[in-house]
Amino acid sequence: MSNVAKLVLASGSPRRIELLQQAGLEPDRILPADVDETPARNEIPRSLAKRLSREKAERALSILKAENDSDDAFILAADTVVAVGRRVLPKAAISDEAVDCLQLLSGRSHRVYTGICVITPGGKIRQKLVETRLRFKRLSRREIDRYLESGEWRGKAGGYAIQGLAGSWVVKLIGSYTNVVGLPLYEALGLLAGDGFNTEPRLSPAAS
C-alpha cells in the first residue's frame, strides 16, 4: 500500500517525534498546537487527556485549513496526564513542583493516561484513551535531590521521565510503556491504519 496522505504530528514534544521514528514513521509536518491544559472543574484525569488531545488535533486542523493544506492530512495529537487517584499532577516547570510530584509518587501506585486523537483527511475524528499503571520504589530525599540536578523532570507530566533515570524506579508497570513516554505506539498506529493510513515502517538500510 502506498501513502499519498501525509502525516501531521500536532505536537512539539520531541519524545513523540522519536517514538514515531522508532516505529519507522516520519511525520511530514510537525505542528505544535498550543492549548490551555488547565483541567476543568471536577474533570477526571482520563477525560482531561482525551479532551486535550482532541483540542490539539482540532487546533492543528484549523491551521492547516487556513493554509488550504488539510485535504490529504492525517493529523495525530496526544496528551499525557499523570494521576494519583483523581488528582492530576502538573507538568513540572519548577523544581518545587517536581519535588511535590516525586514525594507523592514515592513508594506509591499511579496511572498515566494518554489521549490520542486522529483527524482523517475526510474530517473523521478518532479518539482513544490508553492507561498504564505503575508503581515506583520509595524515593529518599537524597535521590529526589539528585534527580532534580539531572533536569530530566522539566516539562514532564508528573515531574519524571521514564525513558531516563526514573526508569530505574519502576517496580511494576502494567500496560503500554510507550504510553508513559507520551505516545502509545500500538494504539496510535492502530487508529491511523484503521482509517487507511499506511503505517508500514519506512525502513532505512542502516537502521539499527
Ligand X SMILES: Cc1cn([C@H]2C[C@H](O)[C@@H](COP(=O)(O)OP(=O)(O)OP(=O)(O)O)O2)c(=O)[nH]c1=O
Which residues contact ligand X (rule: CB under 6 A)? 11-13, 15-16, 32, 37, 56, 78-80, 82, 91, 112, 155-158, 160-163, 180-182
Nearest to 95 by CA among 13, 159, 188: 159
- Concerning whether 69 is annotated as a catalytic residue, the answer is no
Catalytic residue among 28, 71, 72, 79: 79
Number of C-beta neighbours around residue 77 at 10 A: 31
Provide the minimum distance between the beta carbon of 16 and ligand X in the complex, in angstroms, as a whole number. Answer: 6
User: Which is closer to ligand X, CB of 7 or CB of 112?
Assistant: 112
User: Which is closer to ligand X, CB of 15 or CB of 198?
Assistant: 15
> Can you list the positions of beta strands (E) in 10-71?
29-30
User: Which is closer to ligand X, CB of 22 or CB of 196?
Assistant: 22
Q: How far apart are CA 110 and CA 48, in angstroms?
A: 16
Burial label for 62, CB within 10 Å (0-12, 13-18, 19+), is: exposed
Provide the minimum distance between the beta carbon of 72 and ligand X in the complex, in angstroms, as a whole number. Answer: 22
Q: Which residues are catalytic?
A: 79
